[in-house]
Structure 1
């Protein structure tokens, strides 16, 4: 199972992000993330055996219970990598509990090797072929993070499909 922990914004924020995505629809080379799948990844666990699910559920529950609900702001857009040919178009996420959640999940699962350093963001689109950079946008969207989700990512021909396995309420 390919797993990760994430925070999903509410539907009204996903709809507003979808409006921002519309500005790149005419640009060839960009594949938009599906609105209902827009999320902030806290920790990518990668490919894991199904028998570890109880452990991942326990950790998600314990870590989420330690952090109170908090406000998240989605600000300006950017690219990964920051220079050269971009692969990902994202919106930067900030919030008092984001770093804490990511760090505590990583510490609790130190036996899981993770490659990426935590950069709080929400992916709006990925590059499929040569694509132009889109000018910067400031979204200024806010929402209250109330839960952390354990998510399974299933790779399909059309792209990754996400299935929330469990949701853990924050503090």
Structure 2
């Protein structure tokens, strides 16, 4: 690390600690040439997450779009902004685990999974748009699937 005061290349780390809730490392450094002390931060440089749309075009993952979709689905429901942010973070993290590219379909399914665990009405609202419902029969089938999934989850013991 180059000294910001004298531009010398020889600097020593004198203290390191976690910063930004573990998302970065704060380092205090001292220049061997002029003894100037300064602080640097080390953070993970994420590779941009790209979304492959159904049309074939590719665009950057936009977390705000996920939050907006979750917000629209949960409008008027008992879901806080903090809950929306946490759900969006889990969707983004799960998407990143799949690699640097993810399909919009996969993102939509991750959003559905989040909503299923939070609010049935919000889940159905999102599913009706995501799955392009055409009538009451589509809602009926999705409710049956939701109930079947809920029963199966309740019947199976939770992993410790």
TM-score w.r.t. structure 2 length? 0.24
Give the TM-score normalised by structure 1. 0.23
Larger Rg over CA atoms: 2
Between structures 1 and 2, the one with greater helix share: 2
* Greater relative contact order (Cα < 8 A, sep 6+): 1
